[in-house]
Each structure stands twice: as C-alpha cells, then as structure tokens.
Structure 1
C-alpha cells in the first residue's frame, strides 16, 4: 500500500515538468494521501476543552472578566457569585445559565418561533404612567423563589404588559432585550485572545494599559512585523498586555526580551493568556538600569549558577518573621508540656520525669523540623535567584549581539530616552513602533530621531475607530464611541553614516566667515 502511494502516476510526472509536483484529484493513490493527511491533521488538532487550572474569559453582554478555573472556588462576576466546576470538560464558547447556589447549567438552544408578531404602527398612543405592567415586584420575587428561570419570567412580563402589543416591532425587540439583560443570568466562557483581553482591559481598567485601544494594538503588531522565529525587544507598562500579544503572535518560536523598570516585570495580563510552559522558555527579561553598563561593556554577566553549599548567612524579613512565629509556637508547645508535667508531679515523681523527658524530645524534634524548614525555604529562594540570574545573563548575551528584529515601546515614561537607548540593540532594516497616549512626547521623539539619523520612513499617526450597529432597517453609527486611541510613531532602522556627518561638520568649522565690506558712496 505504501509503495503504491509513494509512486506518482504518469500525469503527475508530466505535470511536474511544468511546475512543482502536487497530488491531483484524478490520481487515486495521491488522493488517498491527501485524504489521509487531512485525517491526520484533524486528529492532531482536537477540540480544546475547558480544563482545571486554565485561564478563561467570562462574557455577559459587553462585559468581560478573566479568571482561572478552579474547583469549588467562588468567582464574583457582575454582582453574582458562581462556581465554575460544571464548566470543566465543556467546549469554549459554551453559554451557561446561572442556577441556584451559583452553579452553572448549559443553556439549551431554543429556536425562536417564526410566527408573525402582533405589533402596532407607532408608539403615539402609549403613555408611560407606570401602570402598564400587572406584575408587581413582589410577584417577580415570588417567581424567583419558586425557581422559575429568567426566560419564563420574561415571558410572563410580556404577557402581563398591557402596552406590549401596541408597540412597534423594533420597540418590542428592545423591550425583550432589556428584560432579558435584567432577569436572565447567562454567561459565555471564551478562550483568552489578544482582542478579547484588549477589549476587557480597555473597558474595565484603561489606566492600567495607558489607554491602549485594541485597534491601536493591532496596528502596532502589524507595523512591528511580529512573526514566529524573530527576536523582539518589548518595553511596556501595560500590565503585560503588549507582551502577551507579541508572544501569542510568535507562537512560541523565536525570542522575546522584555525590558522592565523597578524590582521586576509586571505580567498580570500575560498570565491571563494561559500560555504553555514552552512559551515562557522563549521569554527573557532585562532591567533598564543595566543597559548603560551593557552598552559601554563595563557590565559582566555570567551564567554560572552558585552552588548550593554557599548558604547565605542572613535571612530576609519574611523568613525571620516565620521563624519567630515558629519559635513562639514551640514555646507554647513546651509550656503545655511543662504544665502537663507539673500536674503529673503531684501524682508521682517518676511520671513527672517521664513527662519532662517527653517534652524535651518534642521540643527538640520541633526545633529540628524548624531548621529543616528554614533550610528548605532558603534553598528554594536561592534556586529562584540563580535561575533569574541565569536568565538575565542569557538575555544580556542576546542583547550583546545587537541584531534584534524589532522593537515595541508602549510605556508611561517619556519615549525619547527609551527609544534612543534601545535602538542600539536593533539590527539595520528592522521596524520599530512607539506608542504614547499623548502626541507631544512623540513629536519630541520624532525631532530627536531626525537629528540623530539612522532611521527612515518616520511616521506619526493617530488611529480612529467607529463602531456601527448593523440591524435590519436600523444600521447606524453608535452614539457612544471612543474619543481617541493614542498615537503611534513608527519607522525603519538603517546604518548610521557617521563619517559623512563628521566631514560636513569639519567643513563648516574650517570655512572662514565672510567679511563685511563697506560700500563706497557715490559723490556724483
């Protein structure tokens, strides 16, 4: 079977003379190969299910929230607390209904009836006096206590409304949508992606991402030419959203070097993507305060791991605090044992001696366990420090090559010093993108880059976005829209011609200044 499959037919051999050989539909053996390849590809990419420990995004109408799936963990979403236990093992994109006790139940797909609805021509005869609804608040609460679902409550509200049939068809749909939003507790569980997380952060906490809108982020990834197998420098203070977007587009291939300020990088949004461990193996980090030493060559970075025998003499405050707590627990335990021994002394001297010995053994064992815990905590801390030093040394080695394929800056700091420093590590003919919430810092950065040279195709742009409502006979732009999505400065690096600038400067300095000549007056 395999030999027949691998041997091409005569028509395929003739077609290979004109262009690259490809299996054709009329070749039985090659058709079998194509079908088998399709079957293998379908088997290799199974449907992803929600698992315990995965990061997911809860969606209700236009509200999003990123959470981690854990059993019997209470999650508060839209003023309701729920448990995600029943979502484990289900497909992404499934809609659930919140039942009693905060449990989730898969919502059944109910097909709307195609019967024509009775509707009025206009709303001129409708008077909003608050008496059109026969059901009171107490009646609705009683329906909820009986366990009636939100869809049935909405249906009863429609039946008990005296003005519903007089409304126009559009007004009826708007009324039903409003009541469903109020009484139906439905959520959809989505798989995290760049667009979903960008929309979520922009709607919930725009200050944490420097007012970065999702369309602006998409332009940054496109202008930065982010693709698999490249080496990208990222400097951002957007809670890790830009970093996660770059990692998602690269797909775990290549290398990403994150520049950070302070004690360590912030990756709250990056963790919400739920990347596998292999993605983080391509992620490196390097502090900004060590860039000058790296550029000048004065900094020494070594990937040597400190052996475990070299234990630190001083512990940090957390370990000392835990030691004090353990020592206090030991004293309490010894005190209890001594109290028991004093009581036993009243009965007999022999029993008291045994009690004291037992207490001493307990205290010694507890102290021994305390020392073991100290050493274990110190060893774990030391291993993390060694791993961090090793990764920092690897990042320094990647930076020293100065052949990065791209640079993305989206920071709350002034972009000019950051960009001028980080451009030293970018190879020629590579793109760079700088985002800022305001235009004035980018204008200054634009001027400095023109004076410095080494860049071409400098452009400063502003993105503009408008959302549209697309419905039958009522499509129009939405009344509420974003006022601005920030500004982007992008360009391409080139090799700087330092000799030309030096010679031009020397020529200007050596050229003597023209002398002023007095014009003779005409006496005639």
Structure 2
C-alpha cells in the first residue's frame, strides 16, 4: 500500500536531513526546531512531498524542493502571517528590509531564502525505504556499522557476482553490515532462490532488513546459521595458517586451526512433546511475564528452525564435510579478517562459481589473495577498487562536488575451480 500505517518505516528527507523512523503513535521526534508526533504521519502517502507548518502537514504537488510551495510568510519582525506562493515573493519581502540583498548573486540569494524558510516551515519528502536510501542513512549516521561500504561496492556485490532471481540459486553470505547486503539480495531476488546468512555471535543482525519492509514471502527464502555450527557439522577443518588473527579469536586457535567452543547441554526448556525450545546456545531464560516469555520462546524457536533448515540445505545428505559444494555464490563483507572465513566457507562453493570478498582496507585482502592462491582452487583472482566522482547538477552551477566522502573499500573476486582437473 502507498499509505503510511502504524508500525511502518518511513524515511524523512530534505536537502539537510535524512533519517529512517518507525511510526509509533506515542513517540515524538525533533527535526531542527520542529517537534513532530509520529502519529501525524499515519495516513500520509509514501513518495510524496509535504510542508510541516503550524503543527500540521500540507501536501505539496511539486516534485522538487526548489519549486513553488505554500508556506507562511517570513519577515524580520514576525508581525504578519501571510500565505506566500513562491520563493520570488519571499525574495521581494526580504529585499524590502535588507538593502544588500539585491546586490547578492543568484546563488547567494537562493541560500539566504532557504535559510529563512527553514525557520518557519519544514519541507519533508516521505520516502519508502529502499536499499539505496537505507545505505545513505547508514553511511551518514553510522558508517562504521556497515563497514564503510560505498554504494558502488554494494552494487558490484549484487550485480557482478551471480545474483539474480533464479529460484534454484543458493547464495551464502557472511556479513557484519547490519543486514544491508542481505536485504539488498532479498529485494533483488524477489523471494526466489535461497540465501544462507552465516553470522558470528548470539543472533543474526537484520536491522536494515527490518527497515526495508519486505513482503513476508521474501523472508521464506532466507535462513541463518552460526559460523561455528557449520564448522561443528563439518567435524574438523585442517587448514594450516601461518598466523592467526588473534590468539583469543573465536575463529581459530594459536595454530590458525578453526575450532568450536563446546557448550554444556543443560538449562533446556521443552514443551509437552519434548521439543526443545531453549538451551545454552541462546540467552539464558530470564524472569519475565508470560507475554514476553512466549515472545522470547517464539523468536528462539524460529531461530532454531532457520538454523536446522540451513544445515539441511548445506548438508543435504549427511556425510563427509569435503563432499558438499551446494552454494552458487559466496559473499563475505565483515569487520573480521576475511582470510580464515574464506578458507572455511570456500568448501561449500560449487565449481565455476564466483566468490566476492569486501574489505574497507586493502591489506586484509592481500593476505586473503595469497592464501586463496596457494590452494590452487581459484582463477581470475583480482582486487578492484571503485572510485566515484560526485557532481552537483544545478542550473548554472553544475560542477564536481568540492567536498566528498573518500572512504571507499576494495573487493577481491575470483572463480572457484577444481584443482584436480587438467
């Protein structure tokens, strides 16, 4: 639907502000000097422009922020309150009280008028969350949580590495980008195919996926599994690495061998049929009221089901760990060193299938490049960097942006092959 409802997510944007909010009736937000109740957004339209003034929203028929809009008059004394139709009338009103305004350049006049308008009204675009907009919000607000990934790198990971809406396609993803890459893949596949989300920690992070408001059918194609549980099913990994990332790393011991931490089997909660709900793999059972307890059990049960389903997809018949190559793509983008992760997950990748590894820095990818090269299981290994020059496009003011973000990452890509084939 194109109408904003309760518990929906909406991105509020204007030339100086952008953020994603969940609509809650009892919550207020503050944007610049305006305090707005989120319940006022209920019933408004997505992908529309509104002007907030005098405590209410007025829909604008214009498609840009610079065109004619209806807003309250501004003058230096704030004595009058008239309806102004466009920026030209505002300029005339300002010129009456500011003799130097006429001598300004057109660009300077425009900035001055916009600055005065922001004091009396708030222009907002109410946008439906998309991967591009969510990336923009995250890159401005908390770029470190998405590993400083640029939009062009995100596009390369989803467009150039065998990602499409094939219902038989299986993609394995290890990422620590708040679910941004997973959500982008889900949206592009349209609920088709299968995505295996490999995560590290107590639970998979899907913050950006929740923002996107994808249909429920899309979530039927994603299954999460803990990285250590995959290694446990594979029995042992016998890779020899020169030096581990960290002696206390969760991924390897002092010899660089991937290990699994054992957990005792107790504190188990079962239903009347003996089905296990909780154990030490999850958070210990807290003292809560019945509603919160049931919700907690439902979440944990769903997580258990996803993990069991993911294990079935990765190991469809049971048997030797080395015999299973069922993934059509492998994408890694995390804050951890990618070397051990790639060496551990490459055995699940089919032959003649691509691997893509993103890192903010070049040095970890160089280590990973050398390690993958030694296995003789990859061809066409290359490290690429995408650089995008931003331009401002305005009437009589089109030129490259003077100040732009220089945080761009690197992508290591290659094709998995059978080393025994001649």
TM-score over 0.5 (shorter chain): yes
CA shift at 1:463, angstroms?
A: 1.4
Give me the CA root mean square deviation: 3.3
Aligned residues: 369
Counterpart of 1:97 in structure 2 is: 51
- The alignment status of 1:278 with 2:231, answered yes or no, reads no
Q: Distance in 2 between matches of 1:382 and 1:97?
A: 44
Contact 1:153 1:183 in 2 (8 A): no
Of the three residues 311, 322, 328, the one matched with 1:396 is: 311
The residue that corresponds to 2:29 in the other structure is 75
Whether 1:489 aligns to 2:412 is yes
1: CA distance, partners of 2:152 / 2:31: 26
The question of whether the paired residues in 1 share the 8 Å contact of 2:278 and 2:297 is answered with no
Contact 1:308 1:379 in 2 (8 A): no
- What secondary structure is seen at the aligned counterpart in 1 of 2:197? strand
Q: Which of 265, 282, 286 lines up with 1:318 in the alignment?
A: 286
Q: Secondary structure at the match of 2:99?
A: coil
Residue by residue, what CA displacement relative to the aligned partner does 1:191-228 show, whole Å, maximum 9, x if unpaired?
A: 11111111111111111111111121111111222111
Deviations 1:10-39 (A, max 9, x none): xxxxxxxxxxxxxxxxxxxxxxxxxxxxxx
Higher CA-based Rg: 1
Q: What does 1:413-428 align with in structure 2 at a 5 Å threshold?
A: 413-428=336-351
Partner residue in 1 for 2:322: none
Report the counterpart of residue 224 of structure 1 in structure 2.
161
Q: Unpaired segments of 5 or more residues in structure 1?
A: 1-46, 114-133, 300-304, 323-372, 501-524
Find the counterpart in structure 1 of residue 394 from structure 2: 471
TM-aligned CA distance change 1:174 to 1:316, over 3 Å: closer
Question: More deviation in 222-231 or 263-272?
Answer: 222-231
Secondary structure at the counterpart of residue 352 of structure 2: coil
Partner of 2:152: 215
Shift of 1:398: 0.9
Q: How far did 1:62 drift?
A: 4.4
The Cα shift of 1:82 comes to 1.3
SS at match of 2:336: coil
Shifted more, 209-218 versus 436-445: the winner is 209-218
Q: Which has the higher helix share?
A: 1
Tell whether 2:401 aligns with 1:437: no
Per-residue deviation at 1:434? 0.7
Q: Does the 8 Å CA contact 2:14/2:125 hold for their aligned counterparts?
A: yes
Give CA-to-partner distance per residue, 1:346-395, whole Å, 9 cap, x none: xxxxxxxxxxxxxxxxxxxxxxxxxxx65x76665445433332221110
Does structure 2 conserve the Cα–Cα contact (< 8 Å) formed by 1:54 and 1:68?
yes
TM-score by length of 1: 0.63
Question: Judging changes above 3 Å, is the alpha-carbon distance between structure 1 residues 404 and 147 closer, same or farther for their aligned structure 2 residues?
Answer: farther
Cα 1:453–1:180 shift into 2, 3 Å: farther
**1:212 and 1:313, CA in 2 relative to 1: closer, same or farther beyond 3 A?**
closer
Structure with greater proportional strand content: 2
> Which of 167, 171, 189 in structure 1 is aligned with 2:104?
167
Structure 1 segment 180-199 matched on structure 2, within 5 A: 180-199=117-136
Deviation at 1:430, TM superposition (A): 1.3
- For 1:157 and 1:423, the matched residues in 2 are separated by 66
Distance in 2, matches of 1:76 and 1:273, equals 23
Contact 1:406/1:432 (CA < 8 Å) preserved in 2?
A: yes
Of 4, 8, 17, the match for 1:63: 17
Find the partner of 1:107 among 40, 47, 60: 60
CA contact under 8 A between 1:463 and 1:487: conserved in structure 2? yes
Quickly say closer, same or farther: Cα 1:399–1:317, change in 2 above 3 A. closer
Moved more, 153-162 or 243-252: 153-162
In structure 2, the CA distance between the partners of 1:476 and 1:109, relative to structure 1 (3 Å rule), is closer
1:308 lines up with 2:261 in the alignment: no
Please name the residue that 1:387 is paired with. 302
Aligned to 2:172: 233
CA distance in 1: counterparts of 2:285 and 2:157, whole angstroms: 43
SS in 1 for 2:272: coil
Q: Structure 1 82/258 Cα, relative in aligned 2: closer, same or farther at 3 Å?
A: same
Q: Deviations over 1:207-265 (max 9, x none)?
A: 11111111211111112221112211111111111111111111111111111111111
